[in-house]
């Protein structure tokens, strides 16, 4: 048991609903979303409903995302004086959020330990790891114990998603991570697998109906599940149906979370996106 309290921080790409963050006592570092010359801060002056309104009002503009300055990280960390911090972030190959957290941590270690953690993934994949870290912290675990647990968890965790609109992924600058998804394929709904700082493209169905079927097949083949979440962007009915499908699988925790993507992640995948965050049972 740690002699010092450990507090868990994540970033807004974890897509954790506010009530879930409150339940687990997890703080959040926001990221920026830019509509042309208009810059917003996710979770502060931009929520998901505002984001949808701006997208529909400005159909010719595909937003971009960015990282806030180091002072915003310090502001969040300073809300927890006297505590060590494990800061759980999106994969460092996908964003500079982890890089800035690491820089801030190295410059602010005088009276506490700040340990940024690269999850190698996105969305509720990050959320699952932050929740696990928070439970351990509540039980008195120290920073090293929490990191060891997250390392083990990372090997059993993946995010798989059917992209709603490839134009968002393309113009958002993320296509370079995906072999073979270019130009003529912008009308498809590719299946993306995201873990270990890699984005794979196991399939390229041309309809969302087929893409959802591929998600279900992937979940079945991933192995007996410990936990799962369904994430979506403006597709709640399909997400709930997908969660119902998962409940028929061998899964330890039948309470499957259904969460809407936040503005930062939604910027890169568009309306109609559906995804699964899957945690495999231990062998």
Q: Output the six-digit token pair for 29.
A: 């570092």
- 179 pLDDT more than 70: no
Domain residue extents for the chain = 6-31+67-154, 157-280
Beta carbons of 272 and 164 less than 8 angstroms apart:
yes
**Interior angle at CA 91, CA 245 and CA 128, nearest 5:** 40
Predicted confidence at residue 171, as pLDDT, reads: 65
Phi and psi at residue 209, to the nearest 5°? -60, -45
Q: Which of 64, 76, 124 is nearest to 100 (CA)?
A: 76
Q: Above pLDDT 90, what percent of the chain? A: 75
Give the C-alpha separation, 70 to 37, whole Å.
Answer: 22
Predicted confidence at residue 111, as pLDDT, reads: 81
Mean pLDDT of 153-170: 89
Mean pLDDT of 157-163: 96
SS3 call for 273: coil
Give the C-alpha separation, 195 to 66, whole Å.
Answer: 21
Q: What is the pLDDT of residues 18-52, one digit of tens each?
A: 999 999 999 999 999 998 888 999 988 999 999 99
Mean pLDDT of 253-274: 94
234 confidence band (pLDDT: 50, 70, 90) = very high
For 11-26, b where at least 16 C-beta lie within 10 A, e where not — what string? Answer: bbbbbbeeebbeebeb
For domain 157-280, which CATH number applies: 3.30.1180.10, 3.40.50.360, 1.10.3720.10, 3.30.479.30?
3.30.1180.10
Topology, domain 6-31+67-154: Rossmann fold (3.40.50)
Got the DSSP string for 17-70?
Answer: -HHHHHHHT-EEE--EEEETTEEEEBTTTB-HHHHHHHHHH-TT---EEE---H
């Amino acid at each position: 048991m740690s002699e010092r309290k450990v507090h868990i921080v994540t970033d807004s790409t974890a897509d954790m609903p506010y009530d879930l963050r409150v339940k687990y006592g997890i703080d959040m570092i926001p990221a920026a979303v830019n509509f042309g010359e208009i810059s917003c801060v996710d979770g502060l002056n931009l929520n998901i409903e505002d984001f949808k309104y701006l997208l529909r009002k400005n159909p010719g503009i595909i937003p971009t995302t960015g990282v806030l300055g180091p002072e915003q990280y310090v502001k969040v960390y300073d809300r927890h004086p006297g505590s060590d911090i494990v800061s759980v972030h999106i994969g460092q190959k996908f964003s500079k959020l982890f890089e800035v957290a690491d820089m801030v941590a190295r410059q602010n270690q005088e009276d506490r330990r700040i340990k940024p953690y690269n999850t190698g993934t996105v969305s509720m994949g990050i959320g699952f790891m932050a929740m696990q870290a928070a439970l351990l912290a509540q039980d008195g675990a120290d920073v090293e114990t929490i990191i060891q647990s997250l390392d083990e968890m990372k090997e059993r965790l993946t995010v798989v998603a059917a992209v709603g609109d490839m134009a968002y992924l393309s113009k958002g600058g993320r296509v370079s991570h995906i072999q073979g998804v270019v130009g003529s394929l912008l009308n498809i709904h590719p299946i993306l697998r995201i873990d270990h700082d890699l984005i794979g493209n196991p399939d390229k169905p041309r309809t969302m109906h087929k893409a959802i079927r591929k998600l279900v097949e992937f979940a079945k083949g991933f192995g007996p599940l410990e936990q799962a979440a369904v994430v979506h962007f403006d597709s709640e009915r399909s997400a709930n149906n997908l969660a119902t499908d998962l409940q028929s699988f061998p899964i330890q925790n039948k309470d499957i979370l259904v969460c809407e993507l936040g503005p930062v992640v939604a910027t890169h995948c568009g309306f109609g996106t559906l995804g699964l965050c899957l945690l495999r049972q231990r062998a």
